[in-house]
Amino acid sequence: MNVTLSAQVYSYVQSASGKDTKSSSSQPATDSSATSVTSPASSQSVISGYGLMMSRLFGDVSTLPATQTQLTNTTQNMDAANFLTKSDLNVLSDLYAQAQDQGNDLRYVDDIARDLGNYRKFGSVEGNFNNGQIFDTNGRIQTVSFTEKDAATASRILSNGNLSGSGLDPVFLKFELDPGYSFSHTASFDYLESVVNSTGSDGASNDQTQQSQFATYVGQGQNNYVMNTASKVTFKTEEPDFISKDGVFTVTETGKKHGFRLEGNNVVQDKNPDLSEFLSGTVKANTLMDYFMNQNDSDVTKSDIPTGLFDFLFSSKSSTTSQK
């Protein structure tokens, strides 16, 4: 079914059993009108795929919000659905209609829409976790992988040769099936595979029955990836200034070099002398600054003291020239 965007009017129809069913009808619009679906079990009109997409992704709205194309300070707090393209919404409308016809739980399509929206929103700025630059606190490289079951499903989808035929953006599918980018995905790979397989390479629906497997929703939860940590330390971290173990502090050798010490069980850092202390004579230091500022040196008169680094270099050059 090819559903395109249109203006919709939503209404609720109460059946004899007292159950409210949301229905929709097309109104004149600049785009083509959506198709109303009639349930084969009764003459009652049910919500179309486009109507399902509108209500589930955007709530009770009569028109689509403007599509966002850039992640900015203004758009970063917007829902990911606002970043879905017109093509995305058309495909999702078809998937909602297909899921409804086959008796599948619509939350499976919700999850695909959520992942697709996050891809549109963050995909251009998101880095790959498996780039070899992620380490644990001990300096060991960490990578992520899908569960064994999801990894096998992802491999089948990628080797299917029908990524473009599913209607979903093939670039998104490759992103979704890469653990480095989408290890925290919410979409069911089993359902995603059924979507890809349900459409032939010519774009025609194979109309495969799925209701026995997807009639009851099973969420991904937090069990959709595995964290792998290398056994070898490859990133040497600097020794901290102090360590706290079970509430007891210890100053390391590095910390001692930086002026840290213990007072009781408190870590304090000795104050380094500042410029005012050098200038006041409280602290004596054999530095270039000390040479410039120390006017009590009996061998140097006030007129001989360079007033700045430029004067010092210039006077040194002049002195060298005169000696020649």
Region 179-187: what's the mean pLDDT? 91
In tens, the pLDDT along 21-48 reads 444 444 433 343 344 544 444 444 568 9
Amino acid at site 267: V
Amino acid at site 79: D
The pLDDT value given to residue 313: 54
Handedness of CA 206, 207, 209, 213 (dihedral sign): positive
Going from N- to C-terminal start, the domains of the chain cover: 65-233, 242-323
In tens, the pLDDT along 128-164 reads 999 988 998 889 999 999 999 999 999 999 998 888 8
Percent of the chain with pLDDT over 90: 42
Residue with tokens 């040196």: 297
Binned at pLDDT 50, 70 and 90, residue 270 comes out as: confident
In tens, the pLDDT along 224-249 reads 899 999 999 888 777 888 888 888 88
Q: Please indicate whether residue 100 or residue 8 has the higher confidence score (pLDDT).
A: 100
The pLDDT value given to residue 73: 92
Q: Which of 99-108, 224-233, 304-313 has the lowest mean pLDDT?
A: 304-313
The pLDDT value given to residue 50: 94
> With 70 as the cut, is the pLDDT of residue 272 above it?
no
> With 90 as the cut, is the pLDDT of residue 219 above it?
no
Residue with tokens 């992988």: 145
Region 249-278: what's the mean pLDDT? 81
Percent of the chain with pLDDT over 70: 65
> With 90 as the cut, is the pLDDT of residue 312 above it?
no
The pLDDT value given to residue 106: 97
In tens, the pLDDT along 92-102 reads 999 999 999 99
The DSSP bridge pattern shows strands 260-263 and 20-26 to be: unpaired
In tens, the pLDDT along 55-94 reads 999 998 889 999 999 999 999 999 999 999 999 999 999 9
Phi, psi at residue 200, to the nearest 5°?
-75, 170
Give every CB contact of residue 44 below 8 A, 6+ residues apart in sequence: 13, 15, 21, 23, 38
Q: What is the pTM (predicted TM-score) of this model?
A: 0.62
The pLDDT value given to residue 183: 86
Average pLDDT for the chain: 77
Region 188-208: what's the mean pLDDT? 73
The pLDDT value given to residue 206: 53
The pLDDT value given to residue 75: 94
